[in-house]
């Protein structure tokens, strides 16, 4: 059967590619990678916009300059990827109110400190196993009482940072620096570099039949003896094992039916996992009207609605003269703008910019709004585990079912939500699978010796 393999890998994001690479390095070549879209990369994705290459998904290499070397940073180094150091911490000193005034740095610093202290307090309450009802009461009631600057800082702290509140493995292990990728080959070039080492490529294109694009997996039959996978175009693939790298959002969405259904401990873990939506909206202008300079890369808009066009970045450092701004929205705001037209979104963004910089600024000439929530192959941007992760939840998210091995950013205990989390999870999953294959072959050999 030409469609019979040792291992089927579902998804060609960084975890799927790194899993396949480890298998190939260990002599397991009889593999097929089934990818739903027409490209590799998944949530690492570039697009040409306004004359430059922008990153719709992952944009930073987070965790650089520490004791250990971040494997993604190493790959970037080998590929000569063009990167820029980003310093978010300046953002809190560039907070605008609705009349365009910048909050004095003392007020900003005090508000920030208060927010950090309160987050630490909240966490220690959670740690002390505060009554669940009381803690949800706190989180529901506090935001409505906050001022615009408090809301803006709450948004930056909780939706971006938290490193000041609790040590985060990425920064502890790999260092505190973050580098913005600004390369015309895109962040995704790192995936091509990895793929090139084990798949047949020519002139920068992967031509290896072990990578099958436009194959949307819809059904996965599994038992103790093997797996069978059905794709939307009616093809059937069989294998001894499957590595499933689709996002937790996709697993929650039931795009793939499992026959028999996944056990309850697994489906409960999947449903209990929180998915964050994170959207970068790109706006191109005829000329720039915002302040530039190294400490002006980020600025913030304080509004009475939390997360309303709060976090802004100007792209001048990365691409001088590109006249581009990026505004980041998350969760409910992301879902709201995905449901409206780009014209409406541009109008809202312009109103916010005019509040900050005055009525005479020019209209944007183009807008790019990525949709990670309504993308049926993503259904969100990344997992957001609470800082005190429920160990059992994480264990159950990752644990194999029959011959289905789960991988992806969401299965990384220390680095979920990051590119390096995806990369390292792929390696870890393949190592676990290789161990399983070794055990199975030892058992078979023992059986034969006995006969
Ligand atoms: P994915 O990249 O999602 O790969 C899964 C693949 O499976 C996809 O290619 C998908 O098309 C495919 N697939 C889905 N369903 C099917 C199906 N039914 N059949 C076949 N194939 C299927 N990380 C950082 O380190 N730094 C950042 O700055 C950063 N910013 C981010 C910003 C945004 C907007 C987003 C969305 C993510 C960001 N991340 C960032 C997170 C990072 O991109 C991810 O953690 C990482 O890329 C996930 O890789 P993965 O292999 O686990 O999943």
Q: Do 257 and 54 touch, CB atoms closer than 8 A?
A: no
Is the pLDDT assigned to residue 286 strictly greater than 80?
yes
The preferred substitution site among 64, 246, 277, 371 for testing ligand 1, maximizing ligand atoms within 8 Å of CB, is 246
Q: Do 31 and 23 touch, CB atoms closer than 8 A?
A: yes
Calculate mean pLDDT across residues 77-95.
Answer: 91
Instruction: Give the ligand 1 atom nearest the CA of 407.
Output: 52
Q: Which residue in 114, 106, 104 sits closest to 151, CA to CA?
A: 114
The preferred substitution site among 19, 57, 373 for testing ligand 1, maximizing ligand atoms within 8 Å of CB, is 57
Give me 39's structure tokens: 């490209």
Q: What is the whole-number distance in angstroms between the Cα of residue 44 and the centre of ligand 1?
A: 6
The preferred substitution site among 9, 12, 13 for testing ligand 1, maximizing ligand atoms within 8 Å of CB, is 13
* The residue to which tokens 């676990």 are assigned: 432
Q: How far is Cα 78 from Cα 61, in angstroms, rounded to an integer?
A: 14
Q: What is the whole-number distance in angstroms between the Cα of residue 252 and the centre of ligand 1?
A: 15
Instruction: Give the ligand 1 atom nearest the CA of 216.
Output: 19
Q: What is the whole-number distance in angstroms between the Cα of residue 20 and the centre of ligand 1?
A: 16
Instruction: Give the model's pLDDT for residue 147.
Output: 93
Q: What is the whole-number distance in angstroms between the Cα of residue 433 and the centre of ligand 1?
A: 22
Return the ∠ at Cα 258 (arms to 255 and 261), rounded to 5°: 125
pLDDT band at 138 (very low <50, low <70, confident <90, very high): very low
Specify the pTM: 0.94
Give me 32's structure tokens: 């097929």
Instruction: Give the ligand 1 atom nearest the CA of 34.
Output: 20
Model ipTM over 0.90: yes
Least confident of 36-40, 348-352, 389-393: 389-393
Q: What is the whole-number distance in angstroms between the Cα of residue 295 and the centre of ligand 1?
A: 30
Q: How far is Cα 41 from Cα 47, in angstroms, rounded to an integer?
A: 12
The preferred substitution site among 9, 58, 189, 413 for testing ligand 1, maximizing ligand atoms within 8 Å of CB, is 58
Is the pLDDT assigned to residue 60 strictly greater than 50?
yes
pLDDT band at 160 (very low <50, low <70, confident <90, very high): confident
pLDDT band at 137 (very low <50, low <70, confident <90, very high): very low
Q: What is the whole-number distance in angstroms between the Cα of residue 29 and the centre of ligand 1?
A: 24
Q: What is the whole-number distance in angstroms between the Cα of residue 42 and the centre of ligand 1?
A: 5
As for ligand 1, residues whose beta carbon falls within 6 Å of it are 10-16, 34-37, 42-44, 57-60, 62, 215-217, 245-247, 250, 255-256, 278, 280, 372, 377-378, 381-382, 408-409, 417-419, 421-422
Calculate mean pLDDT across residues 404-426.
Answer: 97
Q: How far is Cα 416 from Cα 170, in angstroms, rounded to an integer?
A: 9
Q: What is the whole-number distance in angstroms between the Cα of residue 355 and the centre of ligand 1?
A: 35
Is the pLDDT assigned to residue 141 strictly greater than 70?
no
Q: Which residue in 443, 1, 42, 22 sits closest to 238, CA to CA?
A: 1
Q: What is the whole-number distance in angstroms between the Cα of residue 357 and the centre of ligand 1?
A: 35
Q: What is the whole-number distance in angstroms between the Cα of residue 408 and the centre of ligand 1?
A: 8
Higher pLDDT among residues 122 and 25, named by residue: 25
Is the pLDDT assigned to residue 241 strictly greater than 80?
yes
pLDDT band at 91 (very low <50, low <70, confident <90, very high): confident
Q: How far is Cα 6 from Cα 220, in angstroms, rounded to an integer?
A: 15
Work out the percent of the chain whose per-residue pLDDT is above 70.
96
* Number of neighbours of residue 441 by Cβ within 10 angstroms: 10
* pLDDT digit string, tens, across residues 378-403: 999 999 887 667 889 999 999 999 99
């Amino acid at each position: 059967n030409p469609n019979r393999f040792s291992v089927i890998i579902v998804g060609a994001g960084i975890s799927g590619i790194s899993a396949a690479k480890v298998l190939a390095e260990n002599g397991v070549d009889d593999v097929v990678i089934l990818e739903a879209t027409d490209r590799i990369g998944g949530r690492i994705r570039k697009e040409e916009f306004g004359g430059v290459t922008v990153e719709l998904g992952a944009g930073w290499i987070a965790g650089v300059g520490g004791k250990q070397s971040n494997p993604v940073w190493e790959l970037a180094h080998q590929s000569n990827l063009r990167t820029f150091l980003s310093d978010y911490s300046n953002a809190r000193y560039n907070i605008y109110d609705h009349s365009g005034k910048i909050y004095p740095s003392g007020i900003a610093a005090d508000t920030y400190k208060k927010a950090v202290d309160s987050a630490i307090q909240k966490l220690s309450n959670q740690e002390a196993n505060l009554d669940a009802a009381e803690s949800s009461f706190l989180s529901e009631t506090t935001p409505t009482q906050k001022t615009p600057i408090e809301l803006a800082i709450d948004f930056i702290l909780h939706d971006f940072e938290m490193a000041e509140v609790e040590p985060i493995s990425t920064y502890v292990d790999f260092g505190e620096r973050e580098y913005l990728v600004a390369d015309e080959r895109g962040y995704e070039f790192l995936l091509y570099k990895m793929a090139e080492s084990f798949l047949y490529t020519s002139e920068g294109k992967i031509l290896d039949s072990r990578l099958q694009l436009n194959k949307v997996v819809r059904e996965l039959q599994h038992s103790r003896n093997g797996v069978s996978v059905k794709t939307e175009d009616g093809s059937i693939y069989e294998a001894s094992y499957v590595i499933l790298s689709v996002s937790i959002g996709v697993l929650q969405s039931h795009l793939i039916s499992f026959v028999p259904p996944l056990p309850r401990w697994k489906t409960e873990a999947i449903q209990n996992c929180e998915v964050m939506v994170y959207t970068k909206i790109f706006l191109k202008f005829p000329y720039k009207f915002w302040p530039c300079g190294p400490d002006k890369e980020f600025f913030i808009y304080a509004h009475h609605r939390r997360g309303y066009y709060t976090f802004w970045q100007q792209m001048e450092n990365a691409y001088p003269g590109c006249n581009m701004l990026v505004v980041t929205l998350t969760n409910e705001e992301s879902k709201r703008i995905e449901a409206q037209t780009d014209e409406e979104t541009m109008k809202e963004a312009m109103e916010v910019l005019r509040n900050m910089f005055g009525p005479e600024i020019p209209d944007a000439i183009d807008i790019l709004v990525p949709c990670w929530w309504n993308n049926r192959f993503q259904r969100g941007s990344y997992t957001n585990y609470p800082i005190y992760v429920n160990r059992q939840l994480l264990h159950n998210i990752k644990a194999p079912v029959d011959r289905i091995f789960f991988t992806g950013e969401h299965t990384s205990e220390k680095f979920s939500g990051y590119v390096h989390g995806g990369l390292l999870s792929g390696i870890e999953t393949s190592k676990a699978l290789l161990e399983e294959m070794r055990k199975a072959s030892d058992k078979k050999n023992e059986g034969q010796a006995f006969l």
